[in-house]
């Protein structure tokens, strides 16, 4: 059964000269607004680096180089292979990478999606029995909504009680 991977969407604050935010993917930098491809194992991903720094690689454009390029196994519900774990098609799962906790969905075709709006920071400390503050880019924020400016962008963010925070790309505004 063919198992596909669809990579995470992530918002990274790396400004480029064109006013778009670059994307950081597997140690490489791609210009905001550009299309790019990269290979991981048998899979070739065709991706889009969005101007806000998020990126996505649709499963419909992902091919398996080891089996001649097919991208689906018709009629079967596949598992997702993610960071050494296997997840059933149709299930939700989480995994941690660095300071980020990704909340993902394994699709029936074996692809998987981890929207940036559901990604949280897990590196913030705090006290037991009380809400933790969020540490974001050298500043401390209390629980609730906050805004932060990075380069030409204003992010509307949420600080959660566990110290995690997220800044959905859809709420980001250009301020330059």
Q: What average pLDDT does the segment 102-110 reach?
A: 82
Q: Is residue 151 part of a domain?
A: yes
Q: Say which residue, 76 or 119, is predicted with more confidence.
A: 119
User: At 128, which CATH number?
Assistant: 2.10.70
Q: Is residue 69 part of a domain?
A: no
Q: Is residue 102 part of a domain?
A: no
Cα end-to-end span (Å), the chain: 49
Q: Is residue 169 part of a domain?
A: yes
Q: How far apart are CA 104 and CA 94, in angstroms?
A: 6
The CA-based angle 26-30-31, given to 5 degrees, is 160
Q: Is residue 61 part of a domain?
A: no
Token pair for residue 9?
Answer: 């969407």
Q: What is the pLDDT of residues 22-33, one digit of tens each?
A: 888 878 899 989
Write the DSSP symbol of residue 21.
Answer: B
Q: What is the pLDDT of residue 123?
A: 73
Q: What is the pLDDT of residue 119?
A: 79
Q: Is residue 148 part of a domain?
A: yes
Q: Is residue 47 part of a domain?
A: no
The structural domain count of the chain equals: 1
Q: What is the pLDDT of residues 131-152, one digit of tens each?
A: 678 888 888 888 889 998 888 8
Domain, as residue range, for 131 = 123-174
Q: Is residue 22 part of a domain?
A: no
Residue 90 has pLDDT above 60, yes or no: yes
Q: Say which residue, 161 or 67, is predicted with more confidence.
A: 161
């Amino acid at each position: 059964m063919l198992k596909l991977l669809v990579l995470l969407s992530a918002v990274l604050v790396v400004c480029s000269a064109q006013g778009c935010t670059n994307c950081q993917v597997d140690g490489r930098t791609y210009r905001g607004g550009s299309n790019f491809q990269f290979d991981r194992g048998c899979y070739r991903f065709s991706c889009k680096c969005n101007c806000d720094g998020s990126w996505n690689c649709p499963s419909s454009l992902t091919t398996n180089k080891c089996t001649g390029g097919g991208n689906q196994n018709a009629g079967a519900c596949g598992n997702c292979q993610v960071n050494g774990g296997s997840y059933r098609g149709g299930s939700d799962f989480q995994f941690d990478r660095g300071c980020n906790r990704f909340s993902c969905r394994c699709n029936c075709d074996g692809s998987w999606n981890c929207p940036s709006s559901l990604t949280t920071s897990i590196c913030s400390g705090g006290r037991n029995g009380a809400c933790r503050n969020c540490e974001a880019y050298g500043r401390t924020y209390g629980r609730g909504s906050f805004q932060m400016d990075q380069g030409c962008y204003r992010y509307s963010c949420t600080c959660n009680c566990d110290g995690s925070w997220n800044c959905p790309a859809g709420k980001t505004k250009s301020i330059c």
